[in-house]
Amino acid sequence: MNFRSDNESPVNAKIMQAIVDANTGFEESYGYDPYTLKLQEEMMQLFGCWCEVVPLTTGTAANSLATALSTPPYGSLFCYTDSHMNADECGAPEFFADGAKLIGVTGENGKINPELLDETLAGTGVHGEHECLPSAISLTQSTEAGTLYSMDELNKFKKIKQKYNLALHMDGSRIANAVASSGTSIADMTWKRGVDLLSFGATKNGAMLAEALIIFNPKIGKEIKRRRKRAGHLISKMRFISAQLLAYINDDLWLDLAKQANDLASEFYQQLKSTHEFIYPVQANEAFLRLNEEKIINLRQQGFAFHIWPGSTDIIRLVFSHCTQSSHVKMLINAIKSIK
Ligand SMILES: Cc1ncc(COP(=O)(O)O)c(C=O)c1O
């Protein structure tokens, strides 16, 4: 019974079928195939605006290319201290941005505190050419803590971005969970809140190696084609990535899958919140729960797989995916309730 990661989930059957359906005959390579051209059109429909879609195979590639586009080698990008970009990408964003600096900013519940970010930015500039030039902000939605930036918070970041003339990137590795949970549209959550670049994730939510960088601001995105090639991410058989993304957004499949995962996380939270300590509010498809070591061992012996959060011995992370079975969640709830 897997609660370790949505990355460990299988591929959704409709998306797998889309790969099989795209596997007929020859098609143009490097993004000039009909699937990629159609995806470009459909994404513009989904977002309700002009955008450039860059199909990719990893979220790290999307985040790294976004950093490279938004932050010069002598610039800095502000992100949450424990964000995936800062903590789990082995320096790829800095590498692809030719040595730019990522600066971590903290806050509650896995989110950057906007007031703290404003203060930090207000304090820059005193060292002149000796310090990096503030160039971009990156927000993860939903966050690595399974929480959401509210619309009010996103509006604050939009103002900060405008005040300091910065680019705004969103790491949407789990954007589907965020949109499904909030009930707002993806347009409202992204470009209408000033987002210039979005890492649009699909792999965790049912796809096989399919992500996209969505560029809303053509000025910021203008060097994407060469940046992508130079980074080794211009995919020759792009049709197979684009076909997946087409199936993913078709008929709101992406939202249906995310809602299934979110609903299970929410049920888990509702059943245990009065008796157990949750580290963060459960707002998407992840829950962080404090349990003593004996209970953790006991759960593992019963066949429940999950991560103990790095740096702790008594916090476990449970991830609910589009393929998590409701019966497994019920068994997990009962097991946690019954262990003394
Ligand atoms: C929030 C977040 N962003 C980005 C990524 C990067 O994805 P990938 O492993 O495909 O590079 C992950 C992966 O777990 C993630 O959780």
Per-residue pLDDT of the chain (340 residues; tens, 9 = 90+): 999 999 999 999 999 999 999 999 999 999 999 999 999 999 999 999 999 999 999 999 999 999 999 999 999 999 999 999 999 999 999 999 999 999 999 999 999 999 999 999 999 988 999 999 999 999 999 999 999 999 999 999 999 999 999 999 999 999 999 999 999 999 999 999 999 999 999 999 999 999 999 999 999 999 999 999 999 999 999 999 999 999 999 999 999 999 999 999 999 999 999 999 999 999 999 999 999 999 999 999 999 999 999 889 999 999 999 999 999 999 999 999 987 6
CB atoms within 10 A of CB 113: 17
Q: Is the sign of the CA dihedral 188, 193, 196, 202 positive or negative?
A: negative
Using most ligand atoms within 8 A of CB, pick from 8, 60, 197 the residue to mutate for ligand 1: 60
Q: Whose CA is nearest to atom 4 of ligand 1?
A: 59
Decide: 64 and 231 in contact? Cβ < 8 Å. Answer: yes
Provide CB contacts within 8 A for 192, sequence distance 6+.
Answer: none
Q: Whose CA is nearest to atom 8 of ligand 1?
A: 59
CB atoms within 10 A of CB 267: 16
Q: Name the 3-class secondary structure at 266.
A: helix
Go through the domains of the chain in sequence order and give each one's CATH number. Answer: 12-251 (3.40.640.10), 253-338 (3.90.1150.10)
Decide: 12 and 322 in contact? Cβ < 8 Å. Answer: yes
Q: Where are the alpha helices (DSSP H) in 72-174?
A: 84-87, 92-96, 114-122, 151-164
Please tell me the distance from the alpha carbon of residue 148 to that of residue 237, in angstroms, as a whole number.
35
Q: Output the six-digit token pair for 229.
A: 């090639």
